[in-house]
Amino acid sequence: MDALLTVLPLVLIVAVFYLLIFRPMQKRNRDYAETQAALRPGVRVMLGGGLYATVTQLDDEDVVVEAAPGVQLRYSRQGVVKVVDQVGPSGPSA
């Protein structure tokens, strides 16, 4: 019984550490992977600095976005924070 009481605080610390650190990190990683998978030309995105733009080209490392008509910017794919509008078969959707 004394061994259980000695190990119990350590088990509780590990459980709290898991709930406060690892689960949110897994959720962020999953959200990031979903955002990266949703990137394709025509998709409206928000970049890290708060700039809204439309994806025109992308490759494994970079994404080229159009911030205004005729203004094309090259960003790292990691600079894309979220996808604002998806482009489906029937056009953009919110």
CATH of 2-88, one of 1.10.10, 1.10.3470, 2.30.30, 2.60.40: 2.30.30
Does pTM surpass 0.75?
no
Mean pLDDT of the 40-67 span: 95
Domain spans, the chain: 2-88
Q: Please, which pLDDT band fits residue 62 given cuts at 50, 70 and 90?
A: very high
Q: What is the pLDDT of residues 10-46, one digit of tens each?
A: 999 999 988 999 899 999 999 999 999 999 999 999 9
Where does the chain have alpha helices with state H? 2-17, 23-38
With contact defined as beta carbons under 8 Å apart, do 64 and 43 qualify? no
Beta-carbon contacts of 82 under 8 Å, excluding residues fewer than 6 positions away, are 35, 45, 46
